[in-house]
Amino acid sequence: MSKIAEVKVLVETGKSKKVAAAVQEALDAGDKAQDILDAMIASMGVVGDKFSSGEIFVPEMLIAAKAMSKGVEVLKPVMAGDGSSSLGTCIMGTVAGDLHDIGKNLVVMMLESAGFDMVDLGVDVPADKFVAAVKENDNVVLVACSGLLTTTMPALKEAVQTIKSAYPEMKVIVGGAPVTPEYAAEIGADGYAPDAGSSAAKAKELIG
């Protein structure tokens, strides 16, 4: 099995203690950092699909994401030289009045592993804080807002509309248990992801 194939299997199976060494071995064997990263992103895609179809659950996904992040740590210094790896900056937060962070953290990990530079604003984020974050960070291409309670749906709407009025061209993606594609469209969001597994594919599609 090639070193890259080995890295893929380790990420998919969440072997975080072994990933870093395998990534280093792949680099030493002459594999390109970008190819190794792409392989890990593909692995997380597989993991995301399994999560979306109910084959695996949050713990397995977190374990795979942790393994991926260990591999990325090895690649970061190698890739810092060529700025080609980033898709741009994504601002992410759970909306005002909502303190849920597990889903948001999963999405942050998925998007980071897909190649976005993530700025995580945390939970209970007021609408204007999203706007301020767009202003303060470089090369922001996407804002992701998460709302997990039916009671915070109005806050999600406010967040999307506040971002859109300040930055009409900014792509905004939303998600969370009570959110539907219809509601996302109604409040003016550009995209909707039903779960963390599908968030990366949707995000890349939006900025494509």
Q: Find the range with the poorest average confidence among 48-57, 73-82, 137-146.
A: 73-82
Supply the pTM of this predicted model: 0.75
Q: What is the per-residue pLDDT for 13?
A: 95
The pLDDT > 70 percentage for the chain reads 97
* Cα-based angle 196, 162, 126 (whole degrees, multiple of 5): 65
Confidence band of 200 (pLDDT split at 50, 70, 90) = confident
Q: What is the per-residue pLDDT for 16?
A: 93
Q: Indicate whether 83 pLDDT > 70.
A: no
Q: Indicate whether 204 pLDDT > 70.
A: yes
Q: What is the per-residue pLDDT for 122?
A: 96
Q: How far apart are the first and last CA of the chain?
A: 33
Burial class (CB in 10 A: 0-12, 13-18, 19+), 1: exposed
| C-alpha–C-alpha distance, residues 169 and 9, integer Å | 39
* Cα-based angle 45, 50, 56 (whole degrees, multiple of 5): 130
Average pLDDT over residues 97-123: 89
| C-alpha–C-alpha distance, residues 11 and 158, integer Å | 38
